[in-house]
């Protein structure tokens, strides 16, 4: 990774962690050169990229400041209200359907949906925006017989879980993993970030009451717009006191609703 990109990610992490708060003045170019052991040209390019990403504001003679946050209000919702939170996601964000069609299932998708490799599945690519800011890039796969019961236009207006319910599916459970990844060029363009930017990656398999997989989703989130939080309680266990989730994990946008799950 080029040096300027490394400096960009270091400073972006400081902003994302709150070490540098909105309105804070960043160290000068000279100070950053001394701290990080790089040239002024490298620091200047990293700061310019931060400005292009909307994370800082550069003013001649006044230095570089962290840009004001999108907002400060956060509304919390627990995972127990999963479908209700999906409705909030649909209500408070705008979605664009980028791709929609039927394709042979790859080995990974087939394994997630308990289908033979190459079985036809519906594949949809969507992007959600919060107040005009790209928030998430979503790729969903659904078994063909379920996917045929709704159209691409429906995905632009209705949460996918609601469409599954309307198709006669009773959603009962889901399993998911949360990790980190880097934006490839196509995803970076959709989310309006630079290629290689860190993203939150969520993979989830949704099942019906018969434990049949009915949806597999890979969601990529901009960490400056979306975050996960968890409430915990201290409880007595066999090995002494331990931490346990109090009300399930919630996913929060940086400036408004907290969502239990992406549809």
> What are the φ/ψ torsions at residue 262 (nearest 5 degrees)?
-85, 135
Do 27 and 86 sit in the same domain of this protein?
A: no
Structural domain boundaries, residue 61: 3-66
Q: Give CA–CA dist 192/260, Å, rounded.
A: 24
Helices (H), the chain: 3-17, 29-36, 40-52, 82-92, 107-113, 144-147, 152-157, 160-166, 185-191
Q: Sign of dihedral through CA atoms 61, 62, 66, 69?
A: negative
Q: Which two tokens stand for residue 140?
A: 């969903």
Residues 87 and 172 in one domain: yes
27 and 107 both lie in a single domain: no
Judge if 92 and 22 occupy the same domain.
Answer: no
Question: Is residue 237 in some structural domain?
Answer: yes
Task: Using CA atoms of 42, 47, 49, 52 in order, give the dihedral in degrees to the nearest 10.
Answer: -160
Which of 25-39, 83-97, 154-168, 204-218 is predicted least confidently? 83-97
Same domain, yes or no: 112 and 232: yes
pLDDT digits (tens, 9 = 90+) for 26-70: 999 999 999 999 999 999 999 998 888 788 999 888 899 998 764
Q: What is the pTM of this model?
A: 0.68
Q: Which of 98, 102, 93, 122 is nearest to 225 (CA)?
A: 93
Domain shared by 242 and 130, yes or no: yes
| Beta-bridge partner residues of 202 | 178, 219
Q: Cα–Cα distance between 151 and 156 in angstroms, integer?
A: 9
């Amino acid at each position: 990774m080029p040096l300027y990109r490394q400096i960009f990610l270091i400073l972006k992490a400081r902003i994302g962690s709150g070490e540098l708060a909105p309105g804070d003045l960043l160290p000068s170019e000279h100070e950053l050169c001394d701290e990080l052991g790089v040239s002024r040209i490298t620091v200047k390019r990293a700061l310019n990229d931060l400005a292009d990403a909307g994370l800082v504001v550069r003013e001649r003679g006044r230095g570089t400041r962290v840009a004001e946050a999108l907002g400060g209000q956060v509304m919390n919702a627990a995972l127990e209200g999963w479908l209700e939170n999906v409705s909030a996601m649909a209500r408070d964000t705008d979605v664009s359907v980028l791709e929609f069609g039927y394709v042979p299932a790859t080995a990974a998708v087939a394994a997630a949906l308990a289908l033979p490799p190459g079985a036809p599945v519906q594949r949809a690519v969507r992007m959600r925006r919060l107040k005009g800011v790209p928030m998430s890039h979503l790729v969903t796969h659904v078994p063909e017989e379920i996917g045929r019961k709704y159209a691409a236009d429906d995905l632009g207006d209705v949460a996918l879980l609601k469409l599954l319910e309307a198709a006669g599916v009773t959603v009962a459970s889901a399993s998911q993993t949360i990790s980190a990844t880097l934006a490839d060029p196509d995803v970076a363009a959709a989310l309006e970030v630079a290629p290689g930017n860190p993203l939150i990656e969520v993979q989830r398999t949704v099942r019906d009451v018969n434990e049949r997989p009915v949806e597999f989703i890979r969601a990529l989130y901009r960490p400056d717009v979306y975050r996960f939080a968890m409430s915990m309680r201290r409880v007595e266990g066999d090995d002494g006191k331990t931490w346990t989730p109090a009300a399930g994990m919630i996913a929060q946008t940086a400036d408004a609703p907290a969502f239990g799950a992406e549809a």
